Homo-oligomer: A and B are copies of this chain.
């Protein structure tokens, strides 16, 4: 966290915070290429902070949530992956790979419809191998109720008809709206108590750059698993308990810091 001013192209591979700095750089470059909104940089910073106090690793309860998420996505008739600028800037390849494995189309859905942003995001996804991208034809969008922001405009062949929507890196308003029109929602959010986290049916409290590869691994493992087994996994998943387990992880991390943090002063 203290290295908040070391973004550059020459971060050595063995730098203790290499991964974090690399993603910080991707987000800043994403903004310069119009993919990421200015507010997306601030949101990324909040995510960094939560990832930090969660120990910057994918917890066991996050892995349980990922299994339930894949089970729900396989169970769905019309699953859709809703993508925004930050997600595309951080992990275009894994987004496209997951989309193909679970056979769920990618739909671009943005809060900020800045001139050229849709096109920039579309290009990154196509370069990453995406064949079908929804949410790009403004003349063909329909509105969903409960929402007043740009996000109310959805693709008639995507979110509109979806029964399960996967919303990585999301603001709270839409998850609540999607729930109110009867969709099941799977979210990835490093803030365990954001409205997205609380409203989602399945909340994966983890860093999207670690979550997507894990989802791909589990999706391959669960491919062709019989319906009954998937249903069992879903039935035993408790989202509230899972979120509370993440809050416990934070409490334990802070308690540990109370003892250990000051040791660096002795170096």
Closest Cβ–Cβ distance, residue A25 to chain B (whole Å): 9
Determine whether the beta carbon of A261 is less than 8 Å from that of B2: no
Provide the bound-state CA to CA distance between A105 and B31, in Å.
35
* Distance in angstroms between the alpha carbons of A49 and B1 in the assembled complex: 12
Bound complex: CA A244 to CA B259 (Å): 9
Docked complex Cα distance between A191 and B50 (Å): 12
Q: How many residues of A contact B (CB 8 A)?
A: 54
**Taking CB as reference atom, which chain B residue is nearest A27?**
B42
Binary B-proximity of A34-48 (CB < 8 A = 1, otherwise 0): 000111011111111
Give this chain's copy count. Answer: 2
Binary CB contact string for chain A from 43 to 86 against chain B (1 if under 8 A, 0 otherwise)? 11111111001000000000000000000000000000000000
Cβ contact of A46, chosen from B46, B171, B191, B248, cutoff 8 A:
B46
Q: How distant is the Cα of A5 from the Cα of B42 in the complex, in angstroms? A: 10
Residue pair A195, B264 in contact (C-beta under 8 Å): yes
Indicate whether A4 sits within 8 Å of B254 (C-beta atoms), given known contacts A44-B45, A198-B261.
no
Residue ID in chain B nearest A38 by CB atoms? B28
A207 contacts B by Cβ under 8 Å? no
Task: Indicate if A258 sits at the interface (CB-CB under 8 A).
Answer: yes
Q: Is the CB of A5 within 8 A of B49?
A: no
What are the residues of chain B within 8 A of A50 when measuring CB–CB?
49
Complex A-B: 5 CB contacts under 8 Å: A2-B195, A5-B111, A28-B38, A41-B42, A45-B48
